[in-house]
Amino acid sequence: MILLSLDLIGTFAFAITGAVKAANRGLDWFGAIVLALATGTGGGIMRDALLGRHPPIALEKPVYAIFCISAAVLVIIAQKRIVSKWTLVQIADALGLGAFTAIGAAHADAAGAGGLAIVSLAVLTAVGGGMLRDVLAGEIPQVLKSDFYATAALIGGIFYWICSLLSESHELKLFLTIAITILLRLYAMRKKLNLPKMKG
C-alpha cells in the first residue's frame, strides 16, 4: 500500500510536467495526454520490462492512466495558473523524483537484484519518463544536458543500496531514500547546481 501511494504521487507530479511540456511545445489536448502518460508511467514500465514483470504495473492497474489523464486535464483547464506557480510544480517534481527513485530501488531489491541493478533501476524509474517525454517533444532529454536531476536519483539509489546492507527495515529504506533524493534535488534547484558541460 505504501509503494502504491508513493507511486501514484510521483505519477501525478510527473504527469503534470509532461502536460506542461506539451503546452510549451504547442501540442493539442491529445498531445498533452500522451506526454502526461509517457512522463508519469514511462520509467516504471521500462523498469518492469527489465525485471521481467508482464504486464508492467502501470498497464495492469488503470489507476495510473487515470492519474495521468487527470493531470493533463488539470493543465488544460488551469495552464496559466500552473505555469505561474512553476516553483511549486518543480517542488512536486522533486517529490516525484524521490518517490520514483525509492520505488525503483525497492522493486529491484524485492526481485533479488544486486547493487548495480538496484541503483540502475532506481535511476531509470526516476528519469526514464522524463527522457521519453523530451524525446516525444523533439528535444534532447533535459537530464543529459542540464540540472542536477539524474545525479540526485543516482545518489538516492546508492543510498538505498547502502541502507539495504545495513538494515532490513523496508519502510526505513524507502523513506530515507526519498528524503535524501528530494533534499538533494531541492538544494540543487536553490543553488542552481549543474554538472560541468563537455567542451566542443
φ/ψ of residue 199, rounded to 5:
-100, 130
Nearest to 142 by CA among 155, 128, 123, 156: 128
**Per-residue tens of pLDDT for the chain, all 200 residues:** 777 888 898 899 899 999 999 998 999 999 999 999 999 999 999 999 999 999 999 999 999 999 999 999 999 999 888 878 878 888 888 988 999 999 999 999 999 999 999 999 999 999 999 999 999 999 999 888 877 899 999 999 999 999 999 988 988 999 999 999 999 999 999 988 888 888 76
- Judge whether 32 and 19 are in contact, CB under 8 Å: yes
